[in-house]
């Protein structure tokens, strides 16, 4: 069973033949689902006895599920035939790949070896946040593994410890402007490491093209000696893809 992603633009191909001895103008219609919802319609003509392939542009349904596919043929306003395709179509939810997280000082000194972004290859790993100072900028590199563009709506929040004995959720702002570029450190480290690993800065609500990588970030501030859990929630093309723990750690001065 072929699988496509919700909202994908594809081309359906159907072989059409005129079995008569006279030329006719036709209209082909592609239907999806048991309710025969029209997803594509295209006029074509066939000479007497002619057979040819007709291409139908199709936008895949936005609701995931299994869809039977039918092809209808009309001529002169009359319904000539209705055929069911040999295979149904599986419409799947979009997906997103989280490649790595990043962290850096919000206002680094040029002399610091970590004036640029530090890549956290172990997503969700433990960090000593004190080494990054205050404020801290946290980022994430996303990759669109699909063959359709994805509109990304990120939500980043800090689930952190508050005295005497509970946690609170702080939703963090996702900036719409590219993060400030700081000069390179004397060690020669790149001043903005994510730029060497992704295709584009991705503002909230931006669209990530197929196969491309995009960077989003936020900022949080030192708040005494607290545990912090930095989560990312993603919505793509209207679908909630769930949440990912970017990293967790503590301040220890």
Confidence band (pLDDT; 50, 70, 90) for 122?
confident
Q: Are residues 158 and 233 in the same domain?
A: yes
Residue 224 has pLDDT above 50, yes or no: yes
Indicate if the pLDDT at residue 169 is higher than 50: yes
115 and 63 belong to one structural domain: no
User: What pLDDT is attached to residue 114?
Assistant: 47
Domain limit, last residue, from 56, 73, 92: 92
The Cα-based distances of 75 to 18, 27, 34, 46, 102 in angstroms read 11, 6, 23, 11, 60
208 in the same domain as 126: yes
Domain stops at, among 64, 92, 120: 92
Whether the Cβ atoms of residue 23 and residue 46 lie closer than 8 Å to each other:
yes
For the ranges 113-122, 172-181, 236-245, the lowest mean pLDDT is seen at 113-122
**Predicted pLDDT of residue 110:** 56
Q: Quick one: 233 and 129 in the same domain? A: yes
Show which of 52, 77, 92 is a domain's final residue. Answer: 92
Q: Could you tell me if 237 and 139 lie in one domain?
A: yes
The domain that holds 191 is classified in CATH as 2.70.50
On whether both 20 and 58 belong to a single domain, the answer is: yes
Q: How many domains does the chain divide into?
A: 2
Residue whose C-alpha is closest to residue 50's, from 20, 86, 14: 20
Overall average pLDDT of the 143-154 stretch: 90
Percent with pLDDT over 70 in the chain: 88
Same domain, 115 and 208: yes
DSSP state of 178: P
CATH number at residue 52: 2.60.40.10
Angstrom distance (rounded) from CA 101 to CA 121:
7
User: Could you tell me how far CA 98 lies from the centroid of its own chain?
Assistant: 10
Rounded-to-10 torsion of CA 244, 212, 92, 206: 70
pLDDT band at 220 (very low <50, low <70, confident <90, very high): confident
Q: Supply φ then ψ for residue 195, to 5 degrees.
A: -65, -20
Q: What are phi and psi of 35, to 5 degrees?
A: -90, 5
Looking at the structure, do residues 65 and 132 belong to the same domain, yes or no? no
- Contacts of residue 122, defined as CB under 8 A and 6 or more positions apart, other chains included, come to none
User: Do residues 227 and 103 share a domain?
Assistant: yes
Q: Are residues 122 and 231 in the same domain?
A: yes
The reply to whether 180 and 64 lie within a common domain is no
**pLDDT on residue 113:** 46
Same domain, 66 and 101: no
C-alpha to C-alpha distance for 37 and 22, rounded to whole angstroms: 31
Segment 8-25, tens digit of pLDDT: 888 999 999 999 999 999
Between the alpha carbon of residue 27 and those of residues 11, 51, 123, 148, the distances in Å are: 16, 15, 53, 28
Domain that holds residue 15: 3-92
Closest CA to 71 of 111, 16, 102, 29: 29
Residue 214: which pLDDT band, with cuts at 50, 70 and 90?
A: very high
């Amino acid at each position: 069973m072929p699988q496509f992603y919700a909202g994908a633009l594809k081309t359906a191909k159907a072989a059409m033949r005129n079995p008569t001895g006279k030329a006719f103008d036709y209209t082909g219609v592609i239907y999806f689902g048991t309710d025969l919802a029209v997803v594509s319609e295209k006029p074509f003509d066939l000479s007497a006895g002619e057979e040819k392939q007709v291409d139908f542009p199709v936008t895949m349904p936005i609701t995931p599920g299994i869809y039977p596919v039918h092809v209808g043929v009309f001529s002169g306003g009359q319904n000539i035939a209705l055929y069911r395709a040999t295979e149904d179509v599986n419409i799947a939810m979009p997906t997103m790949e989280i490649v790595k997280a990043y962290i850096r000082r919000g206002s680094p000194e040029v002399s610091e070896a970590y004036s640029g972004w530090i890549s956290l290859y172990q997503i969700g790993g433990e960090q000593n946040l004190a080494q990054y100072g205050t404020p801290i900028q946290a980022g994430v590199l996303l990759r669109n593994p699909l063959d359709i563009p994805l509109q990304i709506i990120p939500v980043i929040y800090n689930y952190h410890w508050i005295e005497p004995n509970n946690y609170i959720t702080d939703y963090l702002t996702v900036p719409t402007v590219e993060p400030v570029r700081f000069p390179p450190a004397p060690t020669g480290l790149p001043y903005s490491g994510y730029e060497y690993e992704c295709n584009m800065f991705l503002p909230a609500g931006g669209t990530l093209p197929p196969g491309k990588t995009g960077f989003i970030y936020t900022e949080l501030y030192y708040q005494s000696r607290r545990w912090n859990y930095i989560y990312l929630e993603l919505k793509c093309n209207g679908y909630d893809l769930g949440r990912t723990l970017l990293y967790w750690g503590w301040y220890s001065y």
